[in-house]
Structure 1
Amino acid sequence: MRRNGPTTRPGRPGSGGSSGCGRSRRFDVLVAGAGPAGCAAALPLVRAGASVVLVSPRTSPDWRVGESLAPTARPLLERLGALDGLADDGHAPCYGNQAAWGQDALTAVDHGLGPYGEGWHLDRTRFDAALLEATRAGGALWHAGHVRDARRHRSRWQITTGEGDVLEASHLVDATGRAARLARRVGAGRTRSDRLIAVAALLGPPKQAARPDRTSLVQATRWGWWYTAPLPGGERVLMAMTDADLLPGVRLLDPDVWWAQAQCAGHIRERIAGREQPPRRLRVFAAGSACATPAAGPGWVAVGDAATATDPLAARGIVTALATGLVGARAILAAEGGDTDAMAAYARRMTAVHAEYLEARAAQYRREQRWDTPFWDRRH
């Protein structure tokens, strides 16, 4: 792989700067998506001497689901050289998780008892921006846009963006999230295990100052379950989780009903006490389990949710994004070094990882046996 040549310096997404590709249109690796998975793949590649471009939209959502980061992310962030900056970037500590699951009383997992110490409650937009900035500082370029088409021409890919630009690369990395747009474009399938949906809102700070809690909370209900976690600055994320076809019956898309249901969940009600009610806007996200089949092929790999998307109950989304990004980059380097089985081995590994996750998810849902309702019957 060749070293990055002189190009125009990319601008930060949303900053109005240059798209970053300059005169160069040929790269060793094109990464579609610039979240944690895409950055985790790009950083090892540029450090190995590859020319890498990340393609992602100029603007990003004002907030993202996935605000709690498990302590197991520490060694991954350290490998990426991003651990020290995380501590100084305004994120709040997460001391553990609590759950009313299988019983009314809360059980707790204390991160302080684990090998890696505390986790984090993230300002997710700031976290993603810092990872992208570290990736750009390492030598990767950023191109504003999205991948519309990718076609194989001999040993290289020709990629067309939605803005009409044409880029070339020897290898592709799909980091487009649950949509897996690039993997599906080059022929991969998408196997879904359920239709879990998150109906979420950001709650503002409480009207009266209170001692902040530093744990996330899950509480099971007849129709699914609730999740809440504090955010830096006093805000809180609150999400109701159920299946897509059950939404009309529970009426969770109505903010008043959504808020009333939250008040019926005692532990949740305690966490959201004193906040403005109800929220004016709810957001709906796909949260089901799915995997790419396969997760890699000649000249391409899928990483993060594009490879293996997991139930938020597993609390492993960002950790999996970082880990698969690093492993995907290693597979590309191995293939470039002559290992003809590297991509197939990566695909087999992702299949095994997802199968292990599905077994763990099934065991966790079996622990909740209080209700004989469609949501739980499907998981038993």
Structure 2
Amino acid sequence: MPPLIKRFLDHLGLGAGFARDSHCPSFRTASAWGGPELISNEFFLDVHNIGWRLDRARFDRMLAAEAENRGAIPLAAKVGSIRFDGDRWTIDCGEAGTRTARCVVDATGRAALLSRLGGLKPINCDRLVAATVFFEESESPGLPGADAALIESFRDGWWYTAATPGGRRVAVLMTDADLARRLGAPRLDAWMECLGKTRHVRTIIGAGRPLAPPRLWPAGSRYLEGNVHPGLIAVGDAVSSFDPLSSQGIIKALRSSIFASYAIADWLLRSDDRGFARYRALMKREFASYRETLRDYYRQEQRWPDSPFWHRRHNGSDFRNQSAALKDLRETVRSHVRPPS
């Protein structure tokens, strides 16, 4: 997480709890983007100075515990349907029974389950997937970029690697779904062959031992389209999904949830539903601004203009108009990608 996270954690009263969990500090990022050399971005230039490498399971447990401490009641359930009746939502929770609520918050991530049940449609802007492998960390403290989150571009996409708490390292091949199939990215041997062609990532991985075959995840930009009744509001990756290149996933989730809470308070306390429209407009503007920034950043890499991956991003290809690519994405997801939970 970049240093900006501290502002949101403090706003939510979570700063002290986060500090007690002893996540690993991070002081810079490094990238070979637009050229072969590794360039460092030092966090000491940021007002908050320190980023963080999370123990994600511990972080999620802290958030859940804090929510319960402030009144949230956990319910183990699988939602089958939701419908709007009068001024309330009726939620079918299967074996857990039926619940009613004036407001429903969709925090189901990329699955956007409740939003889809409520009639909204996720729109994919590209076909990016992440092929992820965890390694036993090898000894590489003196190597450039070993202590940083590192990004390295290549002809068919880009790589990401970072040390994780617990003495491991993650390495991720980011490419489009149709290209992942061509590269054989779901197979460890083909994935390792691609890794061997990198300059910086393979050096940092060194003699690290892969702990499992690659796991593929959807990673593209996506937003929701359509209108719903007041009281159904999506946050985090459910309302929109950002390219991991942005490093904004957790910050965006917290920020959107804070703004959503204002709209919910207006609805519950004053029966004022205008906050929902303001929130949707804000999320739409945020996504448009993000997409423009993302395009500018991808255009900084001009070494492979004939590559389908980079050509699509330099020329603003619209994923929805490419039926063959959509079929490739669906087949890749069906065959290899772990579905969002």
Q: TM (normalized to structure 1)?
A: 0.78
Partner of residue 196 from structure 2, selected from 263, 271, 280: 263
Give the letter for the 2:164 counterpart. Answer: L
Does residue 178 of structure 2 align to residue 239 of structure 1? no
CA displacement at 1:340 relative to structure 2: 3.2
Structure-2 separation of matches of 1:162 and 1:108: 51
CA contact (8 A) 2:230 2:273 kept: no
Structure 1 residues 304-345: Cα deviation after superposition (integer angstroms, max 9, x where no partner): 001110000000000000000111111111223243311111
Give the letter for the 1:375 counterpart. Answer: F
Structure-1 separation of matches of 2:77 and 2:112: 16
CA RMSD of aligned residues (A): 1.6
Q: How does 1:226-305 map to 2 (within 5 A)?
A: 226-276=159-209, 278-294=210-226, 297-305=229-237
The residue matched to 1:203 in structure 2 has which SS? strand
Structure-1 separation of matches of 2:79 and 2:42: 42
CA displacement at 1:215 relative to structure 2: 1.1
More displaced 10-residue stretch of structure 1: 155-164 or 288-297: 288-297
- The residue aligned with 1:353 is 286
CA contact (8 A) 1:90 1:232 kept: no
Structure-1 separation of matches of 2:267 and 2:231: 8
Q: How does 1:1-380 map to 2 (within 5 A)?
A: 69-206=1-138, 208=139, 210=141, 213-276=146-209, 278-294=210-226, 297-336=229-268, 337-371=270-304, 372-380=306-314
Give the letter for the 1:305 counterpart. Answer: D
Kindly tell me: are residues 365 and 209 of structure 1, through their superposed partners in 2, closer, same or farther at Cα, counting changes over 3 Å?
Answer: closer
Structure-1 separation of matches of 2:226 and 2:29: 33
Give the letter for the 1:315 counterpart. Answer: S
Structure-1 separation of matches of 2:287 and 2:229: 17
Give the letter for the 2:259 counterpart. Answer: V
CA displacement at 1:90 relative to structure 2: 2.9
Structure 1 residues 66-118: Cα deviation after superposition (integer angstroms, max 9, x where no partner): xxx11111111111111111122131011121110000011121111101221
CA contact (8 A) 1:292 1:302 kept: no
CA contact (8 A) 2:123 2:223 kept: yes
Structure-1 separation of matches of 2:36 and 2:42: 19
CA displacement at 1:123 relative to structure 2: 0.7
CA displacement at 1:296 relative to structure 2: 6.4
Structure-2 separation of matches of 1:340 and 1:104: 52
CA displacement at 1:210 relative to structure 2: 4.5
Kindly tell me: are residues 297 and 76 of structure 1, through their superposed partners in 2, closer, same or farther at Cα, counting changes over 3 Å?
Answer: farther
Identity %: 37
Structure-2 separation of matches of 1:181 and 1:211: 45
CA contact (8 A) 2:187 2:213 kept: no
The residue matched to 2:132 in structure 1 has which SS? strand
CA displacement at 1:205 relative to structure 2: 2.5
Structure-2 separation of matches of 1:209 and 1:271: 6
- The residue aligned with 1:57 is none
Give the letter for the 1:376 counterpart. Answer: W
Q: TM (normalized to structure 2)?
A: 0.87
CA contact (8 A) 2:141 2:147 kept: no
CA displacement at 1:197 relative to structure 2: 0.3
Structure-1 separation of matches of 2:212 and 2:116: 36
Give the letter for the 1:187 counterpart. Answer: G
CA displacement at 1:279 relative to structure 2: 4.2
The residue matched to 2:60 in structure 1 has which SS? helix
Structure 1 residues 273-321: Cα deviation after superposition (integer angstroms, max 9, x where no partner): 1211x44321110000011125864111100001110000000000000
Kindly tell me: are residues 295 and 112 of structure 1, through their superposed partners in 2, closer, same or farther at Cα, counting changes over 3 Å?
Answer: farther
Structure-2 separation of matches of 1:318 and 1:294: 25
Structure-1 separation of matches of 2:261 and 2:223: 19
Structure 1 residues 100-143: Cα deviation after superposition (integer angstroms, max 9, x where no partner): 00000111211111012211000111110111011111111111
Structure-2 separation of matches of 1:340 and 1:89: 38
